[in-house]
Amino acid sequence: MSENVDNQFWDVDIFGSWIEVGMVGVVVFGGMMIALPTLLTFWKKRQKLSVWPCDIGYRKVHSRIHEFLTELRVKSHGSRSWVLQFHNGGNFLDGTSIKRFSLTHESCAVGCSETVSSRQNLQASTFVELLDILTEEDCDGSARLTSDLPDCHLKRHLEANHTLLYSIVPLKDARQLLTIGALCVEWCDWDSADVIDDELHSLHIKMYAKYVSGQLLDGGRG
């Protein structure tokens, strides 16, 4: 009888109430820990979406990417270097997502035509050969002859832009699992193509792919 009196205050079981409060606290804390990664991801996305294109951070990120492209093109004696990024382009009637890609950054040598206007909102399903190259385990950025491609949309697309050789590597996400885009160098004249050091170029394009991916992911508010 005395034990019950000691644990009660104004007919409230003090000991039992503290146990209940503790259990609720544990549940709330556990829920917060589970939800924290999702909340952080949501907050980061909102931060990226809230950045105005004229923001100094935005300008620095994309100016740096253009600088990387120019450095890579010059080192490779290339005619053109560019970055493309995959994105959603709406939905089909059955609700499935339409996968597309667009050229977002480009550097061209003097006298070489730009292709940014003709490489916007392209449907990924028409460039299956490009997707095959980007998913190769040994996609090392070696220069490839356009003429070696089978008769396909990618070959005709490169030929229309006077591309004799091309070199391409995937751009990866932070976990190095998801392909978010591609980095490419094109050669449009044989004089430039003849001086390619394939081994050195392979090292360069893979190195610059990491630089570009880092900019897109770190400040990729584009």
pLDDT in tens, 149-185: 999 999 999 999 999 999 999 999 988 889 999 999 9
Going by pLDDT thresholds of 50, 70 and 90, the confidence category of residue 138 is confident
- Would the pLDDT of 4 be above 60? no
- Would the pLDDT of 32 be above 80? no
- Would the pLDDT of 144 be above 50? yes
169 against 43, higher pLDDT: 169
pLDDT, position 23: 74
Contact 215, 195 (CB under 8 A): no
206 against 34, higher pLDDT: 206
pLDDT, position 221: 46
Over residues 79-117, the pLDDT tens digits come to 999 999 999 988 888 888 899 999 999 999 999 999 999
User: pTM for this structure?
Assistant: 0.74
- Would the pLDDT of 10 be above 70? no
pLDDT, position 122: 94
pLDDT, position 203: 96
Please give the C-alpha separations between residue 6 and each of 12, 13, 19, 22, 94, in angstroms, as whole numbers: 11, 9, 16, 20, 68
Going by pLDDT thresholds of 50, 70 and 90, the confidence category of residue 35 is confident
Nearest to 221 by CA among 105, 101, 51, 39: 51
Name residue 170's beta-bridge partners. Answer: 182
189 against 2, higher pLDDT: 189
Taking the alpha carbons at both ends of the chain, their separation in whole angstroms is 72
| Three-state DSSP string of 80-145 | EEEEEEEEEEEECCCCCEEEEEEEEEEEECCCCCCCHHHCCCEEHHHCHHHHHHHCCCCCCCCCEE
